[in-house]
Structure 1
């Protein structure tokens, strides 16, 4: 069982996670060991963490209706899946609408990230216009891409928090998100001290 701030998730193994000792605290700006999450486990965790992104109550179905002007899009948040290739995380967002005759389409959101050898921090990029049915992507590309990005970042935040805490007792935060074939990479770290000290 993995204990995330978003909730407990049953996972078959935790050998991919190296949490800090319960009493250990990372110094300001220090990094923990890289978390290498097999994509099957990342997807299992995503089903829990995405509830917060989609603002879904516990035990609610994943179906949410997005409204933009006179258009509506049904998004199945709990069926969102990610895949990982070197330097690329693709988040598949299942959607449907009347114009698709209620047949679901999965809109892939390719997000360029770093790798273990070439970290990119939290710098990520995707396309302005996503691939998929024109009736969906013409109006909804920006919203779908933003949802996919937030789901990925929130998953990284939850994983970092599961690793441990900083010297002030706050959960660790992601310093970098990356990908390898079939593996999501998250680099947890202690927050930097951004307080301003003025001395005279």
Structure 2
């Protein structure tokens, strides 16, 4: 995402046609956004079963907060990416405690041959499909939101930007609050009685 934001910053000063520079920038940023799946997968494998919902909530809450703050200027995106890269390089310590405990309880002989457990293809395809549908809807709302609200409510460009920004900020804030409540109160473990 760092490289995508950097290319976006250089869009106006490069000798190449701006539409292709913008296309390349958004493509690279999209590839960077694909890392979210890797982060969520790592959050699952690096946490115990009891901490898993908290770990995923922190991950998703941070993503929701990022969507609330973004689309911040690309300068801010570059700075945040540099800080995160430094944090990963200097403070990140890899851990697969969630997987190792499962394997240790299944068979002590295989501890020295660490292998990933089998996966459910139907579950993976369901997750991929629902994530695609979610991102497709979000992209459509962001793309069509402005012209649709101008048509429906008769807003001018300034009102459209103002009210749509407030709505997107509200959506992000609500998402962040839901994830924060999930982390603080561990809702996943509450039983309905």
TM interval, shorter chain, is: under 0.3
Using structure 2 for the length normalisation, give the TM-score. 0.25
Using structure 1 for the length normalisation, give the TM-score. 0.25
Structure with higher helix content: 2
Structure with higher strand content: 1
Q: Between Structure 1 and Structure 2, whose CA radius of gyration is higher?
A: 2
